[in-house]
């Protein structure tokens, strides 16, 4: 339930009484330094906050830097620094009306000149060609102080969605760079300004000149606690108010259940990130056969993984993207485990014998690479799949690696089977489709979920070039190809889990995993 200041103050007498009682208790508990301060856990230091870099925690950048438009629930595009927009010329021209009365945290006015300066830091530059609005950028005209027009060489698919991203699209003060043009300090138009940051925490206070409504509390401390168990202990010890979020300070389903049992408020959002298993037929000859890939897929009990390992917080996945995302395509039910059918497929593919099947004297052994650092809980999921594969005659070897090695191994394709996470809103579906599946796009971090230059690339390129009513049917062809060829195995839609103290009221999960949930929160003091 979302509670803003007005509804909180207009609550029932009983609710007010409860709040007063909680407040009285909180005055005792939080008297030393926490009054008016929201204390949030982050798993690592915030990092370089330049919106045009790719190293910082997204949610910390979200506190200070604002976009032209925001990504709302269900992919609805909402005004932010742009109050109105109009797309013309078949999608090649964008007219923007900018919000008046906005200043950066250093007092610099946000206007068309500041907008132009920011957009030209990344639009049309090769480094950012992974975004269509940068790839197809042609020119920008300043019409007057609060109107600009952007011209593109080609129609831009999901143009407004791209402009809602956390980076590189958000706006910083032209005075926040040095004489060499390089980023110097984080100064945005958002409701929070950074007053200090080190390896232990980042501290923020109100931007008093903010154009919108400021949070009811005056200070936000993002405390760096890398270890998940230490974060849970800090919440229990009332040293933190809020922990969770997939990319901020993740909670495992087990920890969520434990905190729920201990009386903490646990909020679970279905999320919009999918855990997907990749096949690497370039390394494992057996996986070239679609019958083997399908056997592996239907040999996995997704419902049990969702129920037991995610404690019912997750949902089995039948698609690359959940229906929570726009253009997610026709939703199919998750495959139901069928060991007999999986065994029959392997027999038909020529893999026979027991307990481990073989073909031409070679055992059916596959290596699954996991990284619990990168995907929490992935080792346990892998062990369940290992047991299920054994039942159908596949020898599954699990290799655990650290976060850094996971990226290296995926890039160099040192795996037969591997876990991938889709990017989630607002980047999806197009971000993951291009970043993880288009062979010609250079992905230097995650590697590729699946590629097929001959058959899949043309479908993706057609989807990326589609406009208007053609977007849905063209991207559906990508999804159909992935399904018809058993090219990937979606496993579960990963939930977003948060836990907070009773001191905190009005919490709701952020719309995307890249946002910091600071709005509509009230603190009992």
Instruction: Give 255's Cβ-side CA count (13 Å radius).
Output: 24
pLDDT the model gives residue 410: 86
Q: Pinpoint the alpha helices (H) of 68-154.
A: 112-119, 132-135
Distance CA 66, CA 401 (A): 36
Strand, coil or helix: 483: helix
pLDDT of residue 24: 34
- Give pLDDT, residue 342: 98
Structure tokens at 447: 């590697």
The two three-digit tokens of residue 406, written as one number: 């996971």
Would residue 308 be called left, alpha or beta, if left means φ above 0 and alpha means ψ between -120 and 50 degrees?
Answer: alpha
Nearest in space to 107 (alpha carbons), one of 188, 164, 222, 169: 188
- Among 375, 445, 435, 434, which residue's Cα sits nearest to residue 407? 445
Other C-beta atoms closer than 10 Å to the C-beta of 17 total 11
State the CB neighbour count (10 A cutoff) for residue 480.
13
User: The pTM is what?
Assistant: 0.85
Tokens of 394: 């596949």
Which pLDDT belongs to residue 218?
95
* Cα–Cα distance for residue pair 52/254, rounded to 1 Å: 36
The residues, ordered by sequence, that sit 6+ positions from 231 with a Cβ below 8 Å of its Cβ are 41, 43, 225, 240, 243, 249, 251
Among candidate residues 115, 105, 49, the one with its CA nearest the CA of residue 80 = 115
Strands 37-42 and 219-224 come out as parallel
How far is CA 1 from each of CA 267, 506, 507, 520, rounded to the nearest angstrom? 10, 7, 7, 10
- Among candidate residues 97, 174, 107, the one with its CA nearest the CA of residue 142: 97
3-state helix, strand, coil in the chain (%, to 5): 30, 25, 45
E strand residue ranges, 449-517: 488-500, 504-505
pLDDT in tens, 134-159: 999 999 999 999 999 999 999 888 89
pLDDT at 293: 98
The CA distance from 360 to 36, in Å, is 70
Helix 471-484 × helix 456-465 angle, to 10°: 160
Q: What is the pLDDT of residues 314-345, one digit of tens each?
A: 999 999 999 999 999 999 999 999 999 999 99
> ω into residue 426 within 30 of 0, thus cis?
yes
CA dist 341 and 309 (Å) reads 25
What is the per-residue pLDDT for 33? 54
- What does the alpha-carbon distance between residue 188 and residue 228 come to, in Å, rounded to a whole number? 31
pLDDT digit string (tens) for the chain, length 525 residues: 333 323 322 332 223 223 333 333 333 344 355 779 999 999 999 989 999 887 789 999 999 999 999 999 888 999 999 999 999 998 899 999 999 999 999 999 999 999 999 999 999 998 888 888 999 999 999 999 999 999 999 988 889 999 999 989 999 999 999 999 899 999 999 999 999 999 999 999 999 999 999 999 999 999 999 998 999 999 999 999 999 998 899 898 889 999 999 999 999 988 899 999 999 999 999 999 999 999 999 999 999 999 988 999 999 999 999 999 999 999 999 999 999 999 999 999 999 999 999 999 999 999 999 988 777 778 999 999 999 999 999 999 999 988 778 788 888 889 999 999 999 999 999 999 999 999 998 877 788 999 999 999 999 999 988 888 899 999 999 999 999 999 999 999 999 999 999 999 999 999 998 999 999 999 987
């Amino acid at each position: 339930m979302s509670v803003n200041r007005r509804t909180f103050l207009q609550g029932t007498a009983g609710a007010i009484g409860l709040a007063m009682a909680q407040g009285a208790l909180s005055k005792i508990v939080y008297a030393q330094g926490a009054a008016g301060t929201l204390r949030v856990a982050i798993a690592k230091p915030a990092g370089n906050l330049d919106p045009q870099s790719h190293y910082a925690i997204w949610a910390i950048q979200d506190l200070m830097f604002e976009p032209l438009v925001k990504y709302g629930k269900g992919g609805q595009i909402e005004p932010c620094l742009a109050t109105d927009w109009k797309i013309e010329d078949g999608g090649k021209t964008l007219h923007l009306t900018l919000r008046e009365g906005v200043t950066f945290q250093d007092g610099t006015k946000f206007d068309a000149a500041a907008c132009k300066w920011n957009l030209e830091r990344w639009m049309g530059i090769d480094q950012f060609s992974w975004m269509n609005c940068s790839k197809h950028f042609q020119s920008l005209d300043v019409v007057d102080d609060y109107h600009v027009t952007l011209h593109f060489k080609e129609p831009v698919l999901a143009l407004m969605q791209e402009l809602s991203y956390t980076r590189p699209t958000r706006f910083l003060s032209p005075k926040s760079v040095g004489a060499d043009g390089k980023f110097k300090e984080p100064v945005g138009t958002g409701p929070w300004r950074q007053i200090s940051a080190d390896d232990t925490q980042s501290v923020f206070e109100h931007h008093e000149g903010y154009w919108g409504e400021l949070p009811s509390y005056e200070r936000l401390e993002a405390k760096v606690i890398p270890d998940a168990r230490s974060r849970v202990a800090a919440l229990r010890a009332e040293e933190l108010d809020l922990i969770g979020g997939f990319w901020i300070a993740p909670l495992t389903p087990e920890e969520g259940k434990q905190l729920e049992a201990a009386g903490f408020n646990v909020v679970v959002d279905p999320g919009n990130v999918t855990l997907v298993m990749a096949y690497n037929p370039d390394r494992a000859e057996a996986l070239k056969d679609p019958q083997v890939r399908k056997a592996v897929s239907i040999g996995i009990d997704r419902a049990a993984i969702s129920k037991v390992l995610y404690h019912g917080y997750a949902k089995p996945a039948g698609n690359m993207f959940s229906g929570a995302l726009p253009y997610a395509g026709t939703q199919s039910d998750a495959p139901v485990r069928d060991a007999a059918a999986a065994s029959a497929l392997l027999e038909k593919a020529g893999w026979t014998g027991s307990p481990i099947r073989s073909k031409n004297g070679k055992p059916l052994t596959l290596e699954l690479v996991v990284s619990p650092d990168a995907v929490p809980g992935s080792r346990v999921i892998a062990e369940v799949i290992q047991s299920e594969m054994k039942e159908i005659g596949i020898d599954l070897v699990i290799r655990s690696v650290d976060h850094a090695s996971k990226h290296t191994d995926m890039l160099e394709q040192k795996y037969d089977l591997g876990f991938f996470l889709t990017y989630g809103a607002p980047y999806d579906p197009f971000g993951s489709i291009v970043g993880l599946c288009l062979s010609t796009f250079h992905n230097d971090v995650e590697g590729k979920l699946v590629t097929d230059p001959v058959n899949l690339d043309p479908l993706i390129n057609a989807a990326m070039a589609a406009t208007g009513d053609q977007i849905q049917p063209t991207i559906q062809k990508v999804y159909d190809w992935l399904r018809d060829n058993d090219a990937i195995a979606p496993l579960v839609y990963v939930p977003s889990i948060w836990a907070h103290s009773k001191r905190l009221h009005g919490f709701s999960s952020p719309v995307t995993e890249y946002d910091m949930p600071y709005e509509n929160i009230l603190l009992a003091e």
